[in-house]
Amino acid sequence: MTAMTACEYVPGLENVPAAESSISFVDGQQGRLEYRGIPIEELAKKSTFIETAYLLIWGQLPTSEQLTAFKTEIRYHRRIKYRIRDMMKCFPETGHPMDSLQTSAAALGLFYSRRTLNDSQYIFEAVVRLLAKIPTMVAAFSLMRQGNDSIQPNDDLDYATNFLYMLTERVPDPIAARLFDVCLILHAEHTMNASTFSAMVTSSTMTDPYAVIASAVGTLAGPLHGGANEEVIEMLDTIGSVENVPAYVDDCMAKKKRIMGFGHRVYKVKDPRATILQNLAEKLFDQMGHDSRYDIALELEKVVEERLGHKGIYANVDFYSGLVYRKMGIPTDLFTPIFAIARVAGWLAHWREQINENRIFRPTQIYQGAHNQPYIPIQERSS
């Protein structure tokens, strides 16, 4: 393999290695995803989100004592400063929760940033605070925009159960809480995606971790990244019925319009996370009642596979996650913030990896403009 020359240009940096990492692995041809070498199917079946976050960030599964201490610290730091709550109350009710989250995450740096990135205690405290407080901020804005006070965290509840409780002040069904926890595991990390790359570029400047997470949240908010799961629900509602699916797919293909929840830059088979989420959806519907959108989704996946499977276009993680969240009563515009709650673990893992062997990102470009142009006085310029 020859070295890449300065004149080569790859749009979107597709397949251009930007780092070496031991955090996660994807095989897009075989549909494999591993966190620190452990298959995602194993973690979804046997682990919890907090244990998985520990694995991603610190590089190994925790002992019983380590996990208990980690969970205790996270529970203790779930609350947010009243000044952050007051700031959030001033946000417009019509604002998107991702914009609220990005602003609130950045604001944490005003209270906790010291930029002492050579201090292991500071790094640990930053990890704990971000994992603990991001869910609280998401839930708080969800209630505040309705004119309600936020709900304080319940220290008797685990991570996933507490978040669902803060949204409704009702302790959720244990099965729903467990399924939600698995959803967080599935979204926690996925190699060099756009938001992770954004986090790494920001990390490479040696700024504080709160700015790193805020930059990643801003990147995740785009519809081509985390925002796709919101659009899947809108698409299913637009289709309306199983009978309308073939015509919808044909229309999208004729107009070269993207079908939301399908296709992936890496996977050329069905996303393994989509398979797990589909099974979760079925369990949830058995427990809480059927959703007609699921029938539409099944037919849509079948038709898309028939029409576009030969191009490597299959269901991705966004396709079924929205159905699961919607059945839990979670508002559609909170789907992407929930993605962020989970992905904080992966972003922090890459932050730690980046600062341990840091080199600031400074890619080049290919200039295509003119040279030696004259300066034209303003009175001589034409519109």
Distance CA 142, CA 167 (A): 7
Q: Count Cα neighbours of 195 within 13 Å in the Cβ-side half-sphere.
A: 33
Q: Cα 161 to chain center, whole Å?
A: 19
Task: Show the CA angle centred on residue 56, arms to residues 51 and 60, nearest 5°.
Answer: 75
Distance CA 28, CA 15 (A): 12
CA distances from 215 to 142, 195, 203, 344 (A): 21, 8, 10, 11
96, 190, 264, 350: which is the annotated catalytic residue? 264
Distance CA 316, CA 273 (A): 7
Tokens of residue 82, six digits: 């009243």
* Phi, psi dihedral angles at 118 (to 5 degrees): -100, 10
Look up 96 and say whether it is catalytic: no
Residue pair 33/24 in contact (Cβ under 8 Å)? The answer is yes
Distance CA 364, CA 142 (A): 41
Look up 77 and say whether it is catalytic: no
181, 187, 318, 350: which is the annotated catalytic residue? 318
Rg (CA), the chain: 22
Q: Would you call 133 helix, strand, or coil by DSSP?
A: helix
Catalytic positions: 264, 318
